[in-house]
Amino acid sequence: MLSQKKIASLGYCRRCINQVYHVHLERQDVMVYPSVYECRKCGMVRNIVAEVPFFRRWKLFLAHK
């Protein structure tokens, strides 16, 4: 499972989290930082995922590398 703490420390955009962890987080599933940043994975300036709200976290149970 992908933990909340892990997500916050990744600094990845949603697309990269989906790709790396094989999950399907959609735009409405995540909270992003108020500004855009460079994703640590793909290097693109995007909305970086800060948090997944509690009621969406079940999706993270399916996460794996």
Nearer to Zn ion, 23 or 39 (CB): 39
Nearer to Zn ion, 32 or 55 (CB): 32
Q: Does 59 bind Zn ion (CB under 5 A)?
A: no
**Among 2-10, 11-19, 22-30, 50-58, which window interacts with Zn ion (CB under 5 A)?**
11-19
Q: Shortest approach of Zn ion to residue 37 CB, angstroms? A: 10
**Helix or strand (DSSP H, E) at 11:** none
Contact (Cβ atoms closer than 8 angstroms) between residue 50 and residue 31: yes
Comparing C-alpha atoms, which of 44, 45, 43, 17 is closest to residue 30?
17
